[in-house]
């Protein structure tokens, strides 16, 4: 089962996630964790989205290629005015940049820096 529980992360990754979320809270910056651990089966279903199933493409990672499966990644969204931050607005992008900065400060690699941007994604390679 896919999870948004931080306890599903490796202990090292969980402490980084805690530090990140604490810093967000300290700044009065609202965020929500949407995913931590994802099984290989769930990763394949996500990869199929926008390719062989409905929806838009959200990942380039097939099963075995995502650090969510290794409990080394989490997805986090900034909340603005009660809604998930939009990357298409200036205010939304400000929030994403702020979140990316905080995540990188605690040591995560940020998907927002990738060529195929994955703004909510934060990971620690093994």
Q: Contact residues for Zn ion (CB under 5 A)?
A: 75, 121
- The residues facing 84 across adjacent strands are 79
Check if the beta carbon of residue 124 is closer than 8 Å to that of residue 12.
yes
Distance CA 95, CA 78 (A): 6
- Give the largest CA-CA distance in the chain: 42
Q: Select 9 or 95, whichever has its Cβ closest to Zn ion.
A: 9
How far, in whole angstroms, is CA 73 from its chain's centroid? 7
> How are the residues of the chain apportioned to helix, strand and coil, as percentages rounded to the nearest 5?
35, 15, 45
Q: Select 42 or 75, whichever has its Cβ closest to Zn ion.
A: 75
Cβ at position 110, least distance to Zn ion in Å: 11
How far, in whole angstroms, is CA 124 from its chain's centroid? 11
Residue number of the CB closest to Zn ion reads: 121
Q: Select 68 or 95, whichever has its Cβ closest to Zn ion.
A: 68
Cβ at position 28, least distance to Zn ion in Å: 25
Cβ at position 117, least distance to Zn ion in Å: 12
Q: Select 24 or 46, whichever has its Cβ closest to Zn ion.
A: 46
Cβ at position 59, least distance to Zn ion in Å: 7
Distance CA 75, CA 91 (A): 20
């Amino acid at each position: 089962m896919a999870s948004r529980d931080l306890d599903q992360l490796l202990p090292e990754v969980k402490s980084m996630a805690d530090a990140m979320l604490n810093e967000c809270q300290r700044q009065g910056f609202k965020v929500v964790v949407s995913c931590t651990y994802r099984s290989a089966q769930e990763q394949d279903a996500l990869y199929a989205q926008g390719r062989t199933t409905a929806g838009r493409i959200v990942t380039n990672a097939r099963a075995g290629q995502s650090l969510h499966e290794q409990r080394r990644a989490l997805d986090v969204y900034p909340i603005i005015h009660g809604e998930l931050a939009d990357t298409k607005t200036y205010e939304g992008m400000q929030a994403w940049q702020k979140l990316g900065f905080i995540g990188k400060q605690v040591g995560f690699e940020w998907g927002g820096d990738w060529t195929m941007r994955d703004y909510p994604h934060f990971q620690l390679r093994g």
